[in-house]
Amino acid sequence: MHWKLTVLGSSSALPSFDRMLSAQVLDINSSMLLFDCGEGTQFQLKRFGVRLSRIDYIFISHLHGDHFFGIFGLINTFIMLNRQKKLCIVSPPGLKSLIIDVLDMVNKEPVFPIEFIEIACQSKTLIVNAKDFKVYGFPLKHSIQTNGYLVEQFNRNHRIRPDFLQSNEVSFLWRKRIQEGEDFIASDGQVFKNTEITVESKVKRFAYASDTAYEEKMVTDIADADLLYHEATFGDDLAEEAFKKKHSTASQAAKIAKNAKAAKLLIGHFSSRYRDVDHLRKEAQTIFPETILAYDGLEIEF
Amino acid sequence: MHWKLTVLGSSSALPSFDRMLSAQVLDINSSMLLFDCGEGTQFQLKRFGVRLSRIDYIFISHLHGDHFFGIFGLINTFIMLNRQKKLCIVSPPGLKSLIIDVLDMVNKEPVFPIEFIEIACQSKTLIVNAKDFKVYGFPLKHSIQTNGYLVEQFNRNHRIRPDFLQSNEVSFLWRKRIQEGEDFIASDGQVFKNTEITVESKVKRFAYASDTAYEEKMVTDIADADLLYHEATFGDDLAEEAFKKKHSTASQAAKIAKNAKAAKLLIGHFSSRYRDVDHLRKEAQTIFPETILAYDGLEIEF
């Protein structure tokens, strides 16, 4: 089954006429995951036909306003739409108390449960371990604590470990049951846990890296991503500005994608100084040909 | 000189495709005053060509999210645009600490001064007494503390009180100087303060009343408004809903305008249940013919 990423906002801190603030939503079929939630995200979700009720997770990269000021309005709308199911919000520390203060101020108590996971990733860390996918956090290099996120989906039809098949007698019927997730009971009554006798096959990886300066270390954290989103606020013309503000150039994003052996690179978070960002595409494609420019409403299936 | 009101958002709590959340900006030539600041207000200001630097005052009616969640992003943008001049924020109590917490969280300290005026209006109260205009607050009737606001502009060419002219000898030259704002010095050296010997002629009044149930008491507070904005979330078909949620119907807004002898009525804050609100216009015009329907981008000069 394909995943679908929809870009909701592709500008950097100052919104432009045709680009809203940072937000992307990933549809992994069983669930939807929102990455960042700049002001206006709820309008963009509506504009691009995303059913709000399908969003189960919100991952905030860092606590700069253009990446999270939309979360108050989105939660407010969830409350008005009478949402019942759990929402999980992952962010660097500090957002939970702010959300609680805001909800308290507007005199609204959500009827749905909110699970807050506050984490300042210093190394690659498993954050969400759901039935059919995992989300890891990894450190980015920005002016404040910033988490990158990596979504990995595992094959639910567990493949039996070849060495187990060689050393144990497993009937055709049992093979099928194990592949469906059952534990194996040998003829002598010994129980083998499913997780111990099967290999989970990774089927898909999406990595989200915004905002960040060039950070070679992340290459191992996001290796073999099917789609890497990496910010590219500036082009080579403003490389110094990028360095100073701890942002990346398009070339740097491309280098990361190349070194991480990503299949595709999506660049965004463009500075509002650029009316046209096609030179950023060219700069990136010189290093990593499979580069796509983000725009609001862009959908990528992979 | 005309004033110009621009409607930035005209929906009620849930934004619709073509209506954004509550916000209106009033250009009184010397300054711009923003009334409410729902999420996305900074985008609408940009969309409708308002120069952000001209906004000196923000008046928040009440602390429901759809009326103030845009203030964080707007302040953030002011900071990024390197604003220097003072901003005055008027609201019911509670907003100041929230804004300070948010700015603290995003690690931004504005270089421009912010004056916070927190007030829970229980009766008509003078809030801003500027050189050429005054702003009063007055109580509305909603589920939480809600302030209405009235802007009054006075004639700067002060008219001399007729009784003063009768009992004092004032030369033609002195009359001119007094009308330009000078104090009067009589031939015996006695000084008469300009404010004591002139009548300020009111030239214009704008009243902002959102959100509120029908509240007859406000009629005296907003008497003779040149333009009254009064919410009309519902039509007669949903009068019970209006009553229950402490909102108004279009007919009720029209009754207030009629009783207050307003020159014009603007209705907005329409429920997202209505695709078309023309029946609200009809209902209001039956009672008060000079009724205008709000839409995003509407400009009214008066």
B41 to chain A nearest CA, in Å?
A: 9
Question: Are A46 and B80 an interchain contact pair (Cβ–Cβ within 8 Å)?
Answer: no
3-class secondary-structure state, position B35: strand
Among A46, A73, A80, select the one facing B39 at the smallest CB separation. Answer: A73
- Report the pLDDT value the prediction gives residue B159, as an integer from 0 to 100: 84
* A43–chain B Cβ distance below 8 A for any pair: yes
In terms of CA atoms, which chain B residue is nearest residue A14?
A: B77
Among A14, A43, A64, select the one facing B77 at the smallest CB separation. Answer: A14
Q: Among this protein's residues, is B66 annotated catalytic?
A: yes
* Residue B42, token pair as written in the block: 């900074």
Q: What is the mean pLDDT of each run of 10 residues along chain A (302 residues)?
A: 94 87 96 97 95 97 96 95 96 96 83 95 96 94 97 78 92 91 92 88 88 97 97 97 97 98 98 94 98 98 96
Calpha distance A219→A91 (Å, rounded)? 22
In eight-state DSSP terms, residue B270 is B
Among A13, A20, A98, select the one facing B105 at the smallest CB separation. Answer: A98
In eight-state DSSP terms, residue A157 is S
- In CATH, the number for domain B4-155+201-301 is 3.60.15.10
Among A39, A64, A94, select the one facing B40 at the smallest CB separation. Answer: A39
- Catalytic option among B18, B36, B56, B66: B66
Per-residue pLDDT of B158-199, as tens digits, reads 789 999 999 999 999 999 999 888 999 999 999 999 888 988
Which chain B residues have a beta carbon less than 8 Å from that of A142? none
B78 pLDDT above the threshold of 70: yes
Half-sphere exposure of B195 (CA within 13 A, CB side): 2
Spatial strand order in the sheet of A264-268: A125-129, A133-139, A147-154, A202-209, A227-231, A264-268, A291-293
> Which of the four pLDDT bands, split at 50, 70 and 90, describes residue B212?
very high
Residues of chain B with CATH 3.60.15.10: 4-155+201-301
* Residue B197, token pair as written in the block: 């010997």
Question: Are B72 and A39 an interchain contact pair (Cβ–Cβ within 8 Å)?
Answer: yes
Report the mean per-residue pLDDT for chain B.
94
**CB-count burial class (<10 Å; 0-12, 13-18, 19+) for B169:** exposed
Calpha distance A284→A19 (Å, rounded)? 20
* A17–chain B Cβ distance below 8 A for any pair: yes
B156 pLDDT above the threshold of 80: no
Could you tell me which residue, B156 or B238, shows the higher pLDDT? B238
Q: Which ipTM score applies to this complex?
A: 0.85
* Residue B189, token pair as written in the block: 């050296």
| Cross-strand partners of A199 | A159
In eight-state DSSP terms, residue B272 is T
Per-residue pLDDT of A159-173, as tens digits, reads 899 999 999 999 999
Cβ contacts from A onto B, under 8 A: 90
Strands (E), B54-110: 55-59, 87-91
Classify strands A191-192 and A184-185 as parallel, antiparallel or unpaired. Answer: antiparallel
To the nearest 5 percent, what fractions of chain A are helix, strand and coil? 30, 30, 45
Calpha distance B220→B86 (Å, rounded)? 32
Calpha distance A150→A152 (Å, rounded)? 6
* B105–chain A Cβ distance below 8 A for any pair: yes
Interface test mutation site (partner B, options A105, A246, A271, max chain B beta carbons within 10 A): A105
B155 pLDDT above the threshold of 70: no
Q: Is the pTM of this model over 0.80?
A: yes
In percent, how much of chain B has pLDDT > 90? Answer: 86
Per-residue pLDDT of B252-277, as tens digits, reads 999 999 999 999 999 999 999 998 99
- Report the pLDDT value the prediction gives residue A139, as an integer from 0 to 100: 98
